[in-house]
Structure 1
């Protein structure tokens, strides 16, 4: 069995966590989570496109039209930080917005990509775990492994990567023993705009690269896993 097929089976198992996301559709009102706290997202289908209003924490409402791309949407909006390409994808109980800013010559600056998580307005937040810690806002020297496992599902990818890189190697090894957690974790870490030695080690352990992770999850979703 090739490494890709092995990981595809692992990803198919992990997709039990995301089964509802495959059937989710964009539309309605969403509220920001984590780094997007204070943001509000409104989406309405409009023919082959979407009418979108993204309200920032300062109350500034940014209205724009987004093209329909399968179950997702893509459009350009002018935010307080400047113009950016926004890719909006449905999640099981909300939506994920990937914002890729344009630089001074209107070229996409992937290095400044941000991922913002939103929940539907009518979805109550789950109770935070007892060991919950907020995501790091930058690289850290150390992070509690048990708190990491209980907290990372609430974080955006970049914060999860910084914390994962700070875990002791022996703790990362233990995490790899739990296939479902490892598959879900790799899926999140591979969405981070930055990469590190810890992620590279985890990928080598599976014999894959991030492109394999993304392709395996996409294939499993397409197969109705």
Structure 2
């Protein structure tokens, strides 16, 4: 993917904008670097999918009826944090083409400080004593800084990395759901904004997908059925890449 510098006109590559080369190290494993690059492409794929659907009336109708669910935080960390402002702007632009506030983009968070904090909070002194069943909680910046992640700067939590806000749900059957929920058009910090219009839809979607206890088990089964076998998939890719 190529573009041009707005200032000098020199051709630049996508890797230059993401500063991908800075993540790699000759002395350390490349797992983190690979994860960041993969995360960047996941975000770009989501945005381009939304863009494609938003171009037509039928696509915009579909956008109002589809929940877009990712795995992991709605955020861009490390050097790829440069994507975050553009993602926020594009989600806002697409949401305005619909009924404002109806674009549902969310994700499931299965590990990390938020999951650990609310798991410990829910289990002591007794299960369900602090987080009753059938409740949802949108932690604001003050709660996050006082109880989960200590404040080290004057910036609100997630100001330059997240394009979604944390959401904790305790279903009526006792399942804990840890989600991130986009809120297009809301001013930063997202954690201090009012309740999102699609909150109920997000909770219902996460509950049906088995986010949390079963960690997207229905989606994993669907992917297993739909996946192209390795050998056939390799042959297809090689045939597409072969010069003609």
- TM-score between both structures, scaled by the size of structure 1: 0.22
Query: Which structure's residues are more often strand, by fraction?
Result: 1
Query: Which structure's residues are more often helix, by fraction?
Result: 2
Higher relative contact order (CA 8 A, sep 6+): 1
- TM-score between both structures, scaled by the size of structure 2: 0.21
| Higher gyration radius (CA) | 2
